[in-house]
Amino acid sequence: MPRKKKAASEYNPSEKKNAKEKEKTVEAHEQADKDIKKDPDLATQPRPEDNLDEGELARLEGED
């Protein structure tokens, strides 16, 4: 009877650890993106409630 092939992670336990680390990193980046969108100092697009003056609007639109 032929043997079943083992997954790469069964041969190399650090493979599983690396996958978990990568997953945590991806989750951290997603959370950071959400936080950046909420922070008016880091947002790339103004929100209607931001109440920006003409200079701030021009800076965001690329007009100086």
Please give the model's pTM, rounded to 2 decimal places. 0.46
Give the per-residue pLDDT at 31. 95
Give the per-residue pLDDT at 28. 96
User: What string of pLDDT tens digits covers the 64 residues of the chain?
Assistant: 566 666 655 667 778 888 889 999 999 999 999 988 888 777 667 666 677 788 877 877 775 4
Give the per-residue pLDDT at 56. 79
The answer to whether residues 25 and 15 touch, using CB atoms and an 8 Å cutoff, is: no
b/e for 20-59, b at 16 or more Cβ within 10 A?
eeeeeeeeeeeeeeeeeeeeeeeeeeeeeeeeeeeeeeee
Give the per-residue pLDDT at 27. 96
Domain range annotation of the chain: 14-61
